[in-house]
Amino acid sequence: MRLLQLTAGAVLGISLLSGCSDDNAEEAAEVKVSACVADPAGGRPRAEGTIVNSSSQPSAYTFRVRFLDPAGNEVSQASNAVARVEPGETATWRLEGGVSARGTLRCEVDNVTRNAVGS
């Protein structure tokens, strides 16, 4: 298992689109959140999870995580990129939200893109 991450500040070139279309439903299902926590002191929230590459090619992934309060309001967000996940392999990721948040949070992944990368 490989850990690759770029923080939201380092992923400046990623274009964010709204929502996931049916065209990338498979890619979206490959990115999972395993932890979503607010900083008890009111700092930036954190999320972590995994990506399982179900394609037949090494792939790069970009995605956004939205941090939502119990009412479903977005309180922070962050983008992430994982440079390479081999076919059938799992990679882990971690990120911090861009804005401080307190209390119970739920994380949603959207805007997932998977692109084949060279050998």
In terms of DSSP bridges, do strands 90-96 and 106-116 run parallel, antiparallel, or are they unpaired? unpaired
Which residue in this structure is represented by tokens 């081999």?
86
pLDDT given at position 60: 98
Give the C-alpha separation, 70 to 110, whole Å. 18
Structural domains of the chain, ranges and CATH numbers in brackets: 2-116 (2.60.40)
Residue 106 pLDDT more than 60?
A: yes
Give the C-alpha separation, 86 to 58, whole Å. 4
pLDDT given at position 74: 97
- pLDDT one-digit tens code per residue, 64-103: 999 999 999 999 999 999 999 999 999 999 999 999 998 9
Looking at residues 19-48, what average pLDDT do you find?
86
29: enclosing H helix or E strand: helix 25-30
pTM for this model (two decimals): 0.79
